[in-house]
Amino acid sequence: MNNGTSAEAPLIELSNGQKQFGLFQALTNINLAINEGEIVTLLGPSGCGKTTLMRIIAGFETLTSGTLKIDGKDVASLPPEKRPVNMVFQRYALFPHLDVFDNVAYGLKVKGVEKEERRRRVQAMLRTVQMESLSHRFIGELSGGQCQRVALARALVNGPRVLLLDEPLAALDLKIRQHMLGEMKRIQLETGATFVYVTHDQDEAMILSDRVVLIDHGQIVQVDRPQDMYFRPRSLFAAKFLGETNLFEGKLTVSGIGQLSLETQDGPFEVVSNDAAVSGNDAAVMSVRPEAMSFRQSNAQLDYAVDAEIADVIFSGSRSFFHLVSLGGQKFRVQVQNMPGAALPVAGDKVHVSWRKDSATVLPLSRISS
């Protein structure tokens, strides 16, 4: 599960974590290790348990069973105020009766940090998040992006070992969101804190993370670097949740010794996958990203191919999106990088579409877990 390279013990270690709310099983069999200095994203659809998992780390919820260690110590009995973690709340939860400076100073004041030292640290942190000029504003007078910066500063000024971020960009509009993502990465580099970031947005997860923890129905589905999870999803859920993908559904049959063939509407694909998750007589899908497909002539050794008719073309500047229907009736999409003067097929054209065998992943259809 943990493919971090650090030889040290992980900063956060969850073993066999279970969480139940009454009869509802919110988290099942959670095993997760997060290393110092990492940005780890807990990614999943709403209600999957990712926020519960983060609240358990923060100390606002307790595990029904299993252990949680932070820095090698079991923290089950520690209340939130005694844990070396700080949190950025989804709607910031800034204190409306305090100004920006006092919001950021709150944690230091509670801990009894001496006044001059406190002022120095708060100002340094406000500089980091570029809010020093607004330090005497009250919270009601700030924009969403500014609140976001204050919330980050208020948490980070305490020097937490782990910063927990609960969908911190969800309330911001797209443009500020993209800007804040860059800011977040910069601030993480500057402070060296470990970030655990909860989101349902796969783009945020891929842009920001060192590793993505994909969660579905209270279970960890896959933990991987973003590029590995994108190109090598280990389940249909992962393939569909991260980015766009085309799915060719079929049945696996044994076509030779150690050879499997995926029988689809568009004929058989010889499966080179050595994924142990699939075997003969399984219903399976081949997942292939739209940008991995092209209209070039296929090489039977290296490529898969189908013949299809173009239903629709969408030009969007740098790229064109083709909606196609294969001869077998399968709908799929192809994405092509646009070049000036390049001749591209148009709607109604019959085309030959191919993709490299190693760009496709064959996944079991029924089971969700990897």
Partner 1 sequence: MTPSQRTGGILAAPAATYMLLFFVVPAILLFSYSFWISSGFRIVPDFVLTNYISAIRSPLFLRVTYNAIVIGLVTASVTLCLSIPVGYYLTYVARSKIIFYLILVTWFSSYLVRIYAWRTLLGTNGLLNAVLLQLGIVDTPVQAFLFSPFAVAITLTHIYLPFAILMVVSAMSEIKAELIEASRDLGTSALGAFFRVVAPNAAQGLIGAFMLTFILVAGDYVTPQMVGGSSGQTTGLLIADQFRKTGNWPLGAAQAFLMFLVSLVIYALVLALGRLTGLIPARRKTKPAREVA
Site residues, partner 1 (CB under 8 A):
58-60, 79-81, 85-87, 89, 91, 93-99, 106-107, 110-111, 133-134, 136-138, 141, 143, 154-155, 158
Distance between CA atoms of 170 and 148, rounded to whole angstroms? 10
Burial class (CB within 10 angstroms; exposed 0-12, middle 13-18, buried 19+) of 309: middle
Query: Which pair of structure tokens corresponds to residue 158?
Result: 């305490």
Give strand pairing partners of 325. 309, 331
> In the complex with partner 1, which residue's Cβ is closer, 117 or 312?
117
Min dist CB 256 to partner 1, Å, is 59
Query: Nearest Cα to 15, choosing from 77, 55, 65, 67?
Result: 67
Q: Which is closer to partner 1, CB of 133 or CB of 299?
A: 133
CB of 52 to partner 1, least distance (A): 14
- Give whichever of 8 and 114 is closer to partner 1, judged by the CB atom: 114
Helix (H, G, I), strand (E, B) or coil at 352: strand
Number of H helices, E strands in the chain: 8, 20
Q: Which is nearer to partner 1, 191 or 261 (CB)?
A: 191
Cβ neighbour number for residue 222 with a 10 Å cutoff:
23
What is the chain's length? 370
- What tokens were used for 51? 């926020």
Taking the complex as a whole, the smallest distance from the CB of residue 98 to partner 1 amounts, in Å, to 7
* Closest CB to partner 1 among residues 95, 231: 95
Contact 357, 271 (CB under 8 A): no
Smaller CB distance to partner 1: residue 40 or 87?
Answer: 87
User: Which residue is listed with tokens 């499997």?
Assistant: 260
- Residue nearer to partner 1 on the CB measure, 99 or 216: 99
48 in Cβ contact with 219 (< 8 Å): no
Q: How far is the CB of 10 from partner 1 (least distance, A)?
A: 22
Q: How far is the CB of 147 from partner 1 (least distance, A)?
A: 12
Nearer to partner 1, 108 or 205 (CB): 108
Helices 144-156, 174-191: crossing angle, 10 deg rounding = 20
194 close to 6: Cβ distance less than 8 angstroms: no
Nearest approach, Cβ of 141 to partner 1 (angstroms)? 5
- CB of residue 262 to partner 1, shortest distance in Å: 49
The structure tokens listed for 165 are 């971020």
Residue 111 Cβ vs partner 1, minimum distance, rounded to whole Å? 5
